[in-house]
Amino acid sequence: MEIQALVDKFKVGNRRALSRLISLAENGFKDARLISKELFPLTGNAYILGITGAPGTGKSTLTNKLVQLIVENGERVGVIAIDPTSPFSGGALLGDRIRMKDNYTNQNVFIRSMANRGRLGGMARATKDVITIMDAFGFDYIIIETVGVGQSEVDVYGTAHTTLVLVVPGMGDDIQAFKAGIMETSDLFVVNKMDLDGANKMVMEIESMLDLNQKVEVSRSKYENSAMEQQSWRPPVQKVNARRGNGIPALWEQIMSHRHHVESKGVLECKQLNRFKNELLDILEERFKLQIDQILDPKENPSILEDIRAITERKANPYSIAEKLGKRVIESLENGA
């Protein structure tokens, strides 16, 4: 059995097996299930960092610098790049690619781009399987780099232990627009390109948004995590110049400080409950979706064309047909499809 053979190689540190298992999990729900069964028990050691921000804020440059820092600390890191404009995904200027080459060839670094999955669907589920596999492989850190703030297919904040939101001066309007989303899904703000005009102003703007948000945050967490004795956390705002490396050690200290917070009483448990609740949702949604897709596919279910014709001719309405099809979805799921 191919997966078992790959898992054996994987367990002795074979990077090609790592890469192959990731591909299998990405491309097939059933393979993902088998792989999770084998590898999930080995997980739980990696610390997951999420790096989000609009295109052009320098996510990849920052990721690159953090990767270097982690490796210099003698630890191992996996990177999952979801942003299609990321240099990790091949969307880079040549200069970036060359600079990143060092990391690509380092045995303690593994970079995986998922940028082209967007249209294939199942992104949320697949990303979580890649995390499982990287975690099981023994990476100390996993960095997820994505555009997503709030609206992304991949809920980074719901998955990562620490989520960094990158901004650059001059994006003030966008911040206003995304305010609610950003506030709720950030553990740490990073103002990149700190040498630009307006960097200090931007820090102040974020700080005052955080002032306003504090009260809301408290009442919200009381409601949602009533069972959890969760400590409050005010996201720090760190200025950096990722390209030159300015502020990176200070940023790392902030990340470690948040890690300490997360690993303190209650917070990790709360994050884990949330993370795996999301993962269950992704798995269940994809499982049902696969079956729904089959029922709606004329190749698998030729009578669907008649059903839709009944709608176009107004002999039936979409809900009544959906009701009937829903029963068939349930039947085929019961029959172990």
**What does the binding site for a copy of itself look like in residue numbers (CB under 8 A)?**
32-33, 36-37, 40-41, 43-44, 118, 128, 132, 151, 269, 272-273, 276-277, 279-281, 283-285, 287-289, 292-293, 295-296, 304-305, 307-309, 311-312, 314, 317-322, 325-326, 329-330, 333-334
Measured CA distances, 201 to 187, 196, 198, 244 (Å): 20, 11, 5, 21
Minimum CB distance to a copy of itself, residue 254 (Å): 26
Minimum CB distance to a copy of itself, residue 17 (Å): 19
Give the tokens for residue 335. 């029959």
Give the tokens for residue 323. 């009701």
Measured CA distances, 19 to 22, 89, 145, 260 (Å): 5, 16, 18, 31
**121 torsion bin: left (phi>0), alpha (psi -120 to 50), beta (else):** left
Minimum CB distance to a copy of itself, residue 120 (Å): 13
User: In the complex with a copy of itself, which residue's Cβ is closer, 108 or 301?
Assistant: 301
User: In the complex with a copy of itself, which residue's Cβ is closer, 41 or 74?
Assistant: 41
User: In the complex with a copy of itself, which residue's Cβ is closer, 201 or 309?
Assistant: 309
**314 torsion bin: left (phi>0), alpha (psi -120 to 50), beta (else):** left
Minimum CB distance to a copy of itself, residue 311 (Å): 5
User: In the complex with a copy of itself, which residue's Cβ is closer, 105 or 151?
Assistant: 151
Give the tokens for residue 76. 């191992």
Minimum CB distance to a copy of itself, residue 268 (Å): 9
Minimum CB distance to a copy of itself, residue 63 (Å): 21
User: In the complex with a copy of itself, which residue's Cβ is closer, 145 or 307?
Assistant: 307
Give the tokens for residue 55. 């295109």
Minimum CB distance to a copy of itself, residue 164 (Å): 22
User: In the complex with a copy of itself, which residue's Cβ is closer, 11 or 289?
Assistant: 289
Stated length of the chain: 337
Minimum CB distance to a copy of itself, residue 70 (Å): 24
User: In the complex with a copy of itself, which residue's Cβ is closer, 197 or 334?
Assistant: 334
User: In the complex with a copy of itself, which residue's Cβ is closer, 108 or 278?
Assistant: 278
Say what angle helices 267-295 and 248-262 make with each other, to 10 degrees. Answer: 90
User: In the complex with a copy of itself, which residue's Cβ is closer, 120 or 250?
Assistant: 120
Q: Which residue has the tokens 């270097």?
A: 68
